[in-house]
Structure formats: C-alpha cells, structure tokens
Amino acid sequence: MRKLKKRFQFLLCTLSGALLFQMAFAIKTNAQTSYSLTLEEAISKAIAANRLLKNEQIKAKGLTLKTKEADLARYGAVKFTTSYTRLSYVPPFEVSLPLGPNGEMVTNVLNPVILNVFYNQIGTRQTLYAGGRLKNSLLLAQKNEQNAQFDLQKTQAEVVLNTKTAYWNLYKAQQSLQQIELSIQQMEADLTDLKNLLKRGMLTPNDVLRMEIQIATVRMQVIDVKTGINVAQLFLNNLLQQPLLTQNKLTSSPNLTEAALDADALVNEAQSTRSELKAAQGRVEMSELATKIAKGAAMPQVVLSANGYLSNPNQRLMPADDIFYPTWDAGIALTFDIWNWRSVKNQVASAQVTTEQAKEYNLILQEQVAMEVTQQYLALQQHQERYKMAQEVLKMAQENQRIVGIRFKQGLALNSDLIDANLQVLNAQITLVNTSADWMLAKARLDRAIGKEN
C-alpha cells in the first residue's frame, strides 16, 4: 500500500512539473513575440479592432433601417383579414300573416339562422395629405442617419489620434534606450582608456571609480526606460487588440518636413471638414424639421381607403343567405382637430426652443474648434523650433565632447570634464529624439483639430 502511494505521489509530481514547465514556456514565448509595425499598419489595426467604432457602425446600420421605415410609411399598406366564427343557435326571425287561400296564417322566415360565419377582407389605406409630416419625418430620419456617419468619423479620428500618440510615445522610449546604450558603449571605451592611464600612474583609482559610478548610474536609467517601454507597449497593444505582452518593433520614423501653414486657412478648413461641426449643423436642421412636423399636426389629414370583402353570410344582403358574396367599398376621409387645448402650439414652441439651443451650441462649437486649431498650430510651431534648437545643442555637445576627449588625452582636462561631456551628449541625443516625436504628436493633434481622418 505504501509503495502504491509513493508511486502515485511520484506520478503526480512529474505531471505537475511538466505542466508548470509548459506554462512557463508558453508565457516566455508569448512575452517574446514581436512584430515589425509601421504607423500605417498600427492605424489600420486599431480601426479594425476598436470596439467603439464597431458600436458606432452598428448604430449607423440601425438608423439606416429607421430611414427605410420612414420612407415606407409614405406608401399605403395592404392588409388581409380572415376569420371563422361558429354561432350558437337562436330562433329565426319569422312573421306570420293571414295569406292563405282560406285566410289561414302563413309563416315567413325573414332572416334565417346561419351558424357558420366566414369573413375575408383585403384593404389598403393611403395618406394623401398629412401637413408635410410624412415627408419631414423622412428627412429627419435621413439627417439622423447622416449624423450617425459624422459620429462614426469622429470616433475614427479619435482612434487614429490615440494610435499615433501611443506609437510615437513608444518610439520616444525605444529611441531613448538606444541612445543610452550607445552612450554606455562610449563610456565603457572611456573607462578602458582611464584604466590604461591608471596603470601608467597618470590617474588615481578615484578617477576610474567616478567613471564606473557614472556607468552604473546610466545603467539604472536603462531600467527605468525599459519600464517605460513596457508601459508604452501595453497601451499600444491594447489599442490594437493584440496580446498585451507583444513586442512591437517600430519601423516608421518621424517625417520632419516643415510645411508652410496659415492659421486662418487651417481654421477655415476645420470649419468645413470637422465631423463634430457637421453633426452640430445636422442637429440644427433636425430641430428645424421637428418644428415643421409639430406645425403639421395643426393641418388636416386626408386618407384614401379601399376594401374588398368575401363573406358568408354577407351582412349587406337582406335576408341573409348562406353563400359567399363579394362586395367592396372605397372612400376618402378628412380629419381635422378643431380644438386641442393649444397642445400643438406648445409643441411648436418647444421645438423652436430646441432649434435655438442647437444653433447656439453650433456657434459655441465653432468657436471651440477655432481655438483648438489655433492652439495646435502654435504648438506645432513651438515643437518645430524646439527640434531645430535640439539639433544645434547636439552639435555643440558632440563638439564639446570631441574637444574634451582630446584635452583629456593631453592631460589638460579633468576626468569630471569627460564625464560631464558624455552626459551632455546623452541628454542632447535624448532631447532630439523627444522633440522629433513631439513634432509628430503635435502634427497629429493638428490633423485631428482640422478634421483629417488619417
């Protein structure tokens, strides 16, 4: 019994170990999964995977069906009704009169009892005039459908901006890491030179220790940058709806082409292309249509109707007969509210207030868009200037590093000067990377402000 128990424990431990190994291997494999990714590919994936966009698309489809429903409401509907009824027996309606040859009473059945009743009707109704309500309801549905497309474009523009932001933030972190690693290589080369000088007796051990401390400090900075890369990867993977531990290798570089831009022209472009402004104008038009619909309730309604019947018995036959007899009718009806306690007037007034609110909101939104475009235009100008300055700073830092390196080898510069020169180059390189990515982010925000979808 003990041997069997030991064998079972051994088998259980073996299976558990194999399972843990497979799980660790799967996690490691998932963590090491990497893909090359361009900015255009990232945008396409984000648009295809975004759930808010899918929700807006479903909403747009539903409003398209509502438009078709409003269109079909203008046409007459044809309805068919059929029924069968079994009646209980009642005495027939009889009349007795002295009509016999000798004056005897003769009984005549004026309305026989028919116990099986069959009813068939087919009819149509067509509204000839409804005060423009049917036409305006269709236009209102079309405007609502169009606004759904504008909302879809707005959501897509936000997805594009979020994707660009995540992409360039990851680019900044990855390029910063690359510059730091190159700087560490330079520092390690300088450390080798310092050790050689130490062997010759030209430096003290403390000079070498300073460089080693500086290298260790920069290596700690690498840890922080890698953490930032992981966070940036996480945000980008979430937008692309791919495994969160996927490592994206960015292959797009900033397109630092400086174009001549005019703030007033950009504002005018935004006024005509921003989906939010189109939607706001559409809501104004929808409110105006709602006002017309409310006014139409005060107008008469004219309806044309026609019906065909095949009944047994047919109620129009006297006396009733147990046969199927076809009949028909057609007519035109006019309905008009003479007095309804001014409810229509109140509805019109309420719709007009809603229209005024929509117009004011449209004007407010136009002012906000103009402000946003101007701010993003100025921000882009600022980031372009910062990038140019960062280029100059990097050139000066590299020249300073070269001169300090020569002077140090000649014994005319201190070890601390060499360390400071290396750090200045590293900071200038990181600043240049950040300003180039900030340029692209500012351009992306400006594109979003003026209504560009990509």
Average pLDDT over residues 401-428: 89
Query: Quick one: 431 exposed, middle or buried, by C-beta within 10 A (0-12, 13-18, 19+)?
Result: buried
Examine residue 8 and state whether it is found in any structural domain, yes or no: no
Residue 247 buriedness (CB in 10 A; 0-12 / 13-18 / 19+)? middle
C-alpha to C-alpha distance for 45 and 197, rounded to whole angstroms: 55
- Which has the higher per-residue pLDDT, 105 or 268? 268
pLDDT of 30 strictly over 70: no
Nearest C-alpha neighbor of 90 from the set 109, 64, 69, 106: 109
* Residue 287 belongs to a domain: yes
| pLDDT higher than 60, residue 113 | yes
Read off the pLDDT of residues 163-192 as tens digits, 9 standing for 90 and up: 999 999 999 999 999 999 999 998 998 889
The boundaries of the domain holding residue 88 are 77-129+301-335
Write b or e for each residue in 184-208: b if 16 or more Cβ atoms lie within 10 A of its Cβ, otherwise e.
beebeebbeebbebeeeeebeeebb
Clarify whether residues 414 and 313 are in a common domain. Answer: no
Residues 220 and 260 in one domain: yes
Question: What is residue 16's predicted lDDT score, i.e. its pLDDT?
Answer: 47
Please indicate, yes or no, if residue 346 is contained in any of the structural domains: yes
Inter-helix orientation angle 133-199/275-296, to 10°: 160
Pairing of β 34-37 and β 247-250: parallel
pLDDT at 412: 83
The yes-or-no verdict on residue 33 having pLDDT over 50 is yes
Helix 39-49 with 133-199: angle, nearest 10 deg: 140
Residue 13 lies in a domain: no
In this prediction, residue 28 has a pLDDT band, given cuts at 50, 70 and 90, of: very low
Least confident interval from 130-134, 204-208, 267-271: 204-208
Euclidean distance between the first and final Cα of the chain, in Å?
Answer: 73
CATH of the domain at 377: 1.20.1600.10
pLDDT score at 9: 52
In this structure, are residues 441 and 164 in contact, taking their beta carbons and an 8 Å threshold?
yes
| Together in a domain, 82 and 112 | yes
Write down the pTM of the prediction: 0.82
Asked whether residue 272 is domain-assigned, the answer is yes
Question: Quick check: is 5 in a domain?
Answer: no
Average pLDDT, the chain: 89
Instruction: Assess whether pLDDT exceeds 80 at residue 445.
Output: yes
Please give the average per-residue pLDDT across 48-69, as a whole number. 95
Q: Which tens digit of pLDDT belongs to each residue from 313-370?
A: 998 888 888 899 999 999 999 999 888 888 989 999 999 999 999 999 999 999 999 9
Q: Do residues 164 and 193 both lie within one domain?
A: yes
Q: Where are the alpha helices (DSSP H) in 77-125?
A: none
pLDDT(26) > 70: no
> Are 224 and 190 members of one domain?
yes
